[in-house]
Amino acid sequence: MSQASPVAPHSVVPEPARERRAPFLLRALILVLSLAAGLLALWLLGFVLDDIGDIDRPNLASFEHGALEPALVAAEGEQQRTLAAVVRDIGRQHEIQAGLRASIDNARGTLEQMLEVRRLALEKGGDWQEAEGAALATAQQRFLSSQDQLDESIELTASLEQRRHELTASMADLLQRLDVQREPARAEYQRALKSREYRVAAFKLAFLLPVFLAAAWLVARRRRGLYRPLFLSFLLAATWQLGAVIHQHFPAEFFKYLALGAGLAVVVAFLVALLRSAARPSGAVLLKRNREGYRRWECPSCAFPIRTGTEAGPATCAACGLQLYHECASCGATRHSQLPHCEACGAS
């Protein structure tokens, strides 16, 4: 580093304070902690934005409530209840029918057995008792009665099915009429939803933009500052959230142009700053350049070797003509022309 290898003329792009860099481990730790701070900031911003996103969410039911005719809503509820009752009754009748069918099968079996017994008795020459005749009549009676009940139940089921059919049709009609009334309420709801979307986006930007600008300002302001990594990580977090908000709330087309535009602006700004500081170093960069030049016994501007010090009187770079030493206006000693203070009297 201290080798006096001649530097290319005007290669004055400053190298950031290399000799004062912290050790690698410390730098790595600073990087990791800065990243952690950035992540936490990202998280925190995300929570705030989520909370902003929750403000006055419109409710579809309340919109519909105002738009629907109360009589129709009541009728719909009534019909729904009636329909449920009818469906329940139909189910009950099916159960009853299953029971009756089992009982009929049973009775038929008994009856057939009894008839068989009577046929055999009559064939053998008639030992058919009075009591057995009564039992047969009872069985017959039971069989017929079950049959009648089954027929009744089937008839009832048919009428219930008919009722269900009517109710379903009338419900469909009712729902259609309600839908017609719901239409404007839904449109109103969509409008409210959209206007809320813009409101939320505006609130989010109103919160995020100052944070973003403050972080950007801190980063730009403290270009060589101690806390630059920290500010930079905050800026990254704010930029990320800003991009997320824009992506979420604005059309994709818009986002595409905005993202590309912002990227282009950042790259151009960096390039311009670099070119500027390369062409005309100013402030801290210029001071550093000049300091380094005198320290290495080279012209700060063109790196031509300097052979003399202040003790040899005023001097100029033989290669580029830059004034190197001149007489101090306040003490008359020879001073460095390109450094802020006179080394003899300290005048600036």
Pick 9 or 91: Cβ nearer Zn ion? 9
Residue 294 CB, nearest approach to Zn ion (Å): 12
Pick 261 or 346: Cβ nearer Zn ion? 346
Residue 292 CB, nearest approach to Zn ion (Å): 14
Residue 9 CB, nearest approach to Zn ion (Å): 8
Residue 323's Cβ-side half-sphere holds a number of Cα atoms within 13 Å equal to: 11
Pick 114 or 322: Cβ nearer Zn ion? 322
Pick 221 or 295: Cβ nearer Zn ion? 295
Pick 242 or 306: Cβ nearer Zn ion? 306
Residue 50 CB, nearest approach to Zn ion (Å): 60
Residue 224 CB, nearest approach to Zn ion (Å): 26
Residue 286 CB, nearest approach to Zn ion (Å): 15
Residue 275 CB, nearest approach to Zn ion (Å): 22
Pick 266 or 331: Cβ nearer Zn ion? 331
Pick 52 or 342: Cβ nearer Zn ion? 342
Residue 105: Cβ within 10 Å count: 12
Dist. CA 263–CA 243, nearest whole Å: 11
Pick 96 or 333: Cβ nearer Zn ion? 333
Residues of this chain that bind Zn ion (CB under 5 A):
299, 301-302, 304, 317, 319-320, 322, 328, 330-331, 342, 344-345, 347
Residue 227 CB, nearest approach to Zn ion (Å): 37
Residue 17's Cβ-side half-sphere holds a number of Cα atoms within 13 Å equal to: 9
